[in-house]
Structure 1
Amino acid sequence: MKKNAVIPYAIIASIGILMVIVLSTAGVFQRENIQQEAEGGEEQSAEEGESMDPEEIFQSNCMSCHGEDLSGSGSAPALTEVGADHSKEDIKKIIINGTDGGMPGGLVNNEQADKLAEWLSEKK
């Protein structure tokens, strides 16, 4: 009795084709999920990853130059009474745009700048 050598190859080929179809289908679904996350998930991840507490924003972005107690340093001015000299809007513009030769702008996003400016404007 002679075995037919074609049948094992046909089974292996069928299994291979089936696996390609299954993996392709899974890949399509994963791609759709990734695209949905990229479109709608960016806002969520930005909100989740960034603090909106002005004191935390200050600590992570401003404290190294302006000091832990807002007293300033040799290179950055004190902010202990910044609200007496500048309005909230002026402070926000400085936070967003920076100053010539001094503070760099763009260290925080617009919402964080607004919260930080409000908090600093109360320092009088």
Structure 2
Amino acid sequence: MKKTGILNAELLGAIGRLGHTDTFVVADCGLPVPPGVPVIDLAVVAGTPGIFVVLDAILDEVVVEAMLVAEESVGTAFAEGLVSRGAQPATVSHARLKELCGNARFVVRTGEATPYANVILRSGVPF
């Protein structure tokens, strides 16, 4: 059994299949996911797990070269949490962010219950 890092087999497998420039989403529990995009559902109850518990675990495993959030999230605790982690996400309207989710390799659904707490991540390379 794996003893550190992400233990969820479905999430770990999806991360392992990412290539350079692939996008994926870490989302709150209310983000509508376009048909055909796989969802890795980690939500248990509202608030659990929170988005930063999941995002921090993912950031320990994946090279991320860009992040995209809804402009409606600017100034919120969610946006401040990203900045405190060294992120400088670009912004688009929430409507556009939802459209772009249709191009994602997968969506990780958390139990986060904060409005606009969704981030599209673009996979990078470690060299």
**TM-score between both structures, scaled by the size of structure 1:** 0.29
Rg comparison, structure with higher value: 1
TM-score, normalization by structure 2:
0.28
Q: Which has the higher helix share?
A: 1
More strand by share: 2
Q: Which has the higher contact order (CA 8 A, sep 6+)?
A: 2
